[in-house]
Amino acid sequence: MAMLSDRDLHKLVKEQQIVNPFILEHCQGATINLTLDPFVKKYVSSEPIVLGKEVTEDLYKSFDITKQDFIVQPKESVLIQTHEYVQIPENTTARIYERYSVKSLGLMISPSHYMNPGYRGKISLLLINHSSVPVQLVAGIKICQLALFTLSSEPLTPYEKQDAKYMDSMSVSISKLHLDSEIQDYLKERGVKQVSNEMAKDLGEHLMSHVRKAAKELADIGRDYILKGKLPNE
């Protein structure tokens, strides 16, 4: 997997518009600097979060930081997004890297954030203030860096053929973990619409049973290969 140079990135921008809007000076070396969008979301509920349970928009408050000052307090986290819309080619993957100039001020921006081959949309990120003082966000600041990597071969399941929960996102995305297929299968089996706090342990047991089943199936395949010298369907 090779990291693309600015020469390759310039070519992709011209041919496939991988970043829009694109500022030539923001692409140097092997990354493209992306800017902070005006819109931010903050979790404002006191309700505890249970992994697998739907988190709804009403638990968040949206802010336009071009119309009001927005301060991130120490140890506080918020959801942000890039102003740029990206289109990742299906023969590449992408990662978001922090900028030292931002990180040295105490702000962490979703380190090594991964994007699937074929993803399209603005990029939502988690921002955390790890400093000891409040930090005011400013729209348009170069907040992170985009890097692209070529794949060794075409993927069997680019993002569009997966669940694609965040495809074509234009607004700050909150978690859609509850839409994972194994969680949805669990809800259908139980005949309920969403995970409750009381169901968390049962959900965990259900998910782990699938992990153990998959591990056993893989072990059986390996055992048969050792005994018979061939894989299934060969």
pLDDT digit string, tens, across residues 75-103: 999 999 999 999 999 999 999 999 999 99
Instruction: State the average pLDDT over residues 208-224.
Output: 79
Query: Lowest-pLDDT range, 106-110, 112-116, 139-143, 190-194?
Result: 112-116
Model confidence at 226, pLDDT cuts 50, 70, 90, reads: low
Coil, strand or helix: which one is 216?
helix
- Domain 6-176, CATH 3.50.50.60 — does that match? no
pLDDT of 23 higher than 60:
yes
Whole-number Å distance between alpha carbons of 217 and 199: 27
What tokens appear for 203 in the block?
């959900």
Model confidence at 219, pLDDT cuts 50, 70, 90, reads: confident
Q: What share of the chain in percent tops pLDDT 90?
A: 88
In degrees rounded to 5, what are phi and psi of residue 186?
-60, -45
Strands 31-35 vs 27-28: parallel, antiparallel or unpaired: antiparallel
User: Tokens 């072990």 — which residue?
Assistant: 219
Query: pLDDT at position 118, please?
Result: 96
Whole-number Å distance between alpha carbons of 224 and 229: 7
pLDDT of 231 higher than 80:
no
- Given a contact cutoff of 8 angstroms between Cβ atoms, the answer to whether 232 and 221 are in contact is yes
Query: pLDDT at position 60, please?
Result: 98
Distance of CA 207 to the CA centre of its chain: 22
Domain residue ranges of the chain, discontinuous segments joined by +: 6-176, 182-228
Query: pLDDT at position 229, please?
Result: 62
pLDDT of 52 higher than 90:
yes
Instruction: State the average pLDDT over residues 4-24.
Output: 96
Model confidence at 225, pLDDT cuts 50, 70, 90, reads: low
Model confidence at 224, pLDDT cuts 50, 70, 90, reads: low
Interval 130-164: pLDDT, tens: 999 999 999 999 999 999 999 999 999 999 999 99
Mean pLDDT over all residues of the chain? 92
Model confidence at 210, pLDDT cuts 50, 70, 90, reads: confident
- Looking at the DSSP bridge assignments, the partners of residue 32 are 27, 146
What type of residue is 223? R
Beta strands in the chain (DSSP E): 19-20, 27-28, 31-35, 39-43, 60-64, 71-72, 77-87, 92-98, 107-109, 113-115, 120-129, 135-136, 142-150
pLDDT of 214 higher than 70:
yes
